[in-house]
Amino acid sequence: MGSRLILRCRHVLVLVVLVVAAAVAPGALSPGGGAVSAAAAPPAVPAFDAAPARASLERLLSSQARQFTLVPVARTESGDRFEVSGTAGRIQVRGTSPATLLAGAGWYLERVAKVDIGWPGDSLGRLPAVLPAVPGTLTRSASVPHRYALNDTDEGYSGAYRDFETYRRDIDLMALHGVNEVFVPTGAEYPYYRALQEFGYSAAELRDWIPAPGHQAWWLLQNISGFAGPVSEQLIEARAALGARIARQLRSLGMTPVLPGYFGTVPPGFAERNPGAVTVPQGKWVEFDRPDWLNPTGPVFDRLAAAYYRVQRERFGDSDMFKMDLLHEGGAAGGVDVAAAAGAVQRALEASRPGATWVLLGWQRNPTPKLLSGVDRDRVLIVDGVSDRYNGLDREKQWNSTPYAFGTIPNFGGHTSIGANTALWGERFHTWLTKPGSKLRGIAYLPEATGGNPAVFDLFTALAWEPGPVDQRAWFGDYAARRYGGADPHAAAAWEQLRLGPYSTPAGTWGDPQDSVFAARPSLTATTAALWSPPFARYDAATVERALSELLRVPPALRTTDAYRYDLVDVARQALTNRGRVLLPRIKTAYDAGELERFRALVREWNADTELLGRLVGSDRRFLLGPWLESARSWGADPAERDRLEYDVRSILTTWGGRGPSEGGLRDYANREWDGLVRDLYAPRWAAYFEGLDTALATGTAPADVDWFATDDAWARSHRRYPTAPAGDPYALAAEVRDALAAASTA
């Protein structure tokens, strides 16, 4: 025992001597036994931690994620870039941030493995067990530093009551598609709630003033206040905690959480409680009373802004980008010098966040030349919402050489309509980027709601990573092959029809496709559901019917993907929806001519179509109302708040607000063809309307007036539960749509 102990001690002593010698000797021992120079450089420190990117990849791909090696590299002045190489089962991605590593992996999955992870729908079930080799090295560099995502309205129209796992997947998808800046409004009420208690307001007063989460986007835009409240302390705290987690997740991937900035919104009576403060009444926004605006050039603004940013930083961490818009959609300057006010807002931001960028939305007349004249324009980024909506735009001239991002708003209110002005994106983006004196510095993906039109998201975000103009026809051909995990002539033909139709709508007046007249308030002259939607079809509806027929001929092996099932339901839904625009004028003609039997035959077809539409959308979870309602109720602190939150999300899809705002133009603004809405609201109100017209025709009397707001408001305040799981066979239902449309065309 004693001899063994002595021997061990000698071994330890020898090891210590060797370690010390290696540390101090001119010729230290290398692991292989040779000598290395004492001046050898220490091991290189990774440019960043790739672990968050690996965690995202494992969430997205599960077991196949281990076949990727992620290698961090330093970002240079040229910006973000990635390289993809490797043999079968050993794929290496080199990138300049965790998110860029994911963008490289996403590029590999699309361009080499030929599968799609869309928003929504994927074909990952077609990914081979051993990932295919990369032919050579695939290299891409971002042509612009800013790849921005999310509209101010996204949380309200995409779902203000989602959980962290849902937001995290959205972040993963955005990173996978090269996005690096994301607007984060979740929990934005928290800094207002805490800071304003230092300026004379009680917690209860502020909880009455803050709207429920589904409507908070418009409060942050200074349009409304107090709707569907009061909110509870528990809800405010829970949303702040969620917003902080979202911001941390973005930072972990090297992405920027773009936080709401402070520009002067205050509750009623602020000037009376704070001597020296000057507030400007903001009047009405679509019949809502707007919150007051605290003059930023006055003596109190700086103190309140500093308190706001202090509380925000303590809870949400830091950022160097802040989103805010002065006098949005008709705000009143009230004699305040707008240039001076904008300068004061920027100085307050600079005082709390030195070097921060002020993000503004390019929308209507915003931002005005007057506003831009008062700020350091090099510290501003305008995310242009209408780059693809109008022709003849010269943003350098209109915005006095302020940096901006080429942007699109391809849907309003989260309509389920298919389509966008994609035909001009590839050429226009590249032309604007390369013209002399260009101030284009980014792209901005700005639909009012995400989670629909996956081809739009995929193509638009790819613009920033292509070295030249994008060939739209070639892009859609490649997309068709990867969308279902394999090349197929019928899938290619389907997407070529969709490209020619809804995805090639022209610029000039509109940036979004038409919505559904099935979702419109009943009228024989209805052309839109939402007041500001296009009042006519923006493409040949036959393209969608042909696409549906081709999708139904895709071979069984490719029908198993989630992407195929989603697209099949979505295209069948759009084909059936387009039929409504043909039927309604025919119903009007029959009614006006007093042709009762013809009227009844057309109404039977209409009612059959809406009944079929309800069954169709009930077959896919992305078109269900039930989860939308249940998620809202889950956030309530007590039964009363759960009911208020349910009203919050029911109303935003229907009445939007009370009678005044609803009748002022907001009703059905966020219409969407979802199970529950179609079966329980849209179809019944049209059936009741046509029944009234039938009675009027049969009796020779005038149809009775209907208070449609009362009908819609009663639905919005009800608590009927709806399915949270899909039912029915999507393929069989889509085939039924095809057959119904074919029969109608020959009738």
Q: Determine the average pLDDT of the residues in 151-155.
A: 98
pLDDT of 521 above 60: yes
Report pLDDT for 745.
79
pLDDT above 80: residue 134: yes
Mean pLDDT of 482-496: 98
Given a cut of 50, whether residue 20 has pLDDT beyond it is no
pLDDT at 133: 98
Q: What is the pLDDT at residue 351? A: 98
Q: Three-class SS of residue 246?
A: helix
Same fold, 147-467 and 561-746: no
- Residue pLDDT, tens place only, 80-99: 999 999 999 999 999 999 99
Backbone angle region of 204, left / alpha / beta, with phi > 0 → left and psi within -120 to 50 → alpha: alpha
Q: Which amino acid is at 519?
A: A
User: What backbone torsions phi and psi does residue 732 show, to the nearest 5 degrees?
Assistant: -65, -40
Strands 357-362 and 321-323: parallel
Q: Cα angle at 381 between 379 and 382, to 5 degrees?
A: 140
pLDDT at 6: 34
Q: What angle do CA 500, 504, 508 make, to 5 degrees?
A: 145
The packing angle between helices 98-111 and 472-483, to 10°, is: 90
Q: Are 356 and 349 a contacting pair, CB within 8 Å?
A: yes
Q: What pLDDT digit, counting tens, does each position of 625-658 carry?
A: 999 999 999 999 999 999 999 999 999 999 999 9
Token output for 296: 């930023």
pLDDT at residue 2 is higher than 90: no
Query: Any residues with CB less than 8 A from the CB of 300 and at least 6 apart, and which?
Result: 199, 274, 276, 277, 294
Name which of 310, 296, 301 is nearest 353 in CA terms.
310
Q: Is 267 in contact with 195 (CB distance < 8 Å)?
A: no
Residue whose structure tokens are 């009007």: 588
Tens of pLDDT, residue by residue over 202-248, are 999 999 999 999 999 999 999 999 999 999 999 999 999 999 999 99
Express each pLDDT in 293-325 by its tens digit.
999 999 999 999 999 999 999 999 999 999 999
Please determine, for residue 22, whether its predicted confidence score (pLDDT) is greater than 80.
no
Q: 561-746 — its CATH code?
A: 1.20.120.670
pLDDT of residue 360: 98
How far is the C-alpha of 158 from the C-alpha of 747, rounded, in Å? 40
Q: What is the pLDDT of residue 4?
A: 35
- Whether 179 has a pLDDT exceeding 60, the answer reads yes
Q: What is the pLDDT of residue 45?
A: 67
CB 147 within 8 A of CB 177: no
**Measured between alpha carbons, how far is 735 from 727 in angstroms, rounded to an integer?**
16
- Mean pLDDT for the chain? 94
pLDDT band at residue 38 under the 50/70/90 scheme: very low
Q: Domain map of the chain by residue range? A: 51-141, 147-467, 561-746
C-alpha to C-alpha distance for 173 and 557, rounded to whole angstroms: 25
Closest CA to 101 of 308, 329, 289, 255: 255
Q: How confident is the model at residue 43 (pLDDT cuts 50, 70, 90)?
A: low
Q: Which residues contact 503 (CB under 8 A, 6 or more apart)?
A: 418, 419, 420, 422, 423, 455, 456, 476
Asked whether the predicted pLDDT for residue 16 surpasses 50, the reply is no
Q: Are 225 and 211 in contact (CB under 8 A)?
A: yes
Q: In what order do the strands lie in the sheet with 279-280?
A: 265-266, 292-294, 279-280
533-554 pLDDT per residue, tens:
999 999 999 999 999 999 999 9
Hey, is 428 helix, strand or coil?
helix
pLDDT digits 0-9 by tens, 353-362: 999 999 999 9
Q: Is the pTM for the entire model greater than 0.85?
A: yes
pLDDT tens by residue, 396-412: 999 999 999 999 999 99
Q: What is the pLDDT of residue 725?
A: 98
Torsion of CA 192, 196, 197, 203, to 10 degrees: -50
Please state which CATH number belongs to domain 147-467: 3.20.20.80
**Do residues 101 and 47 make contact, with C-beta atoms less than 8 angstroms apart?**
no
CB 318 within 8 A of CB 355: no
Architecture of domain 51-141: 2-Layer Sandwich (3.30)
**CA 621 to CA 451: how far, in whole Å?**
12
- Asked if residue 33 has pLDDT above 80, the reply is no
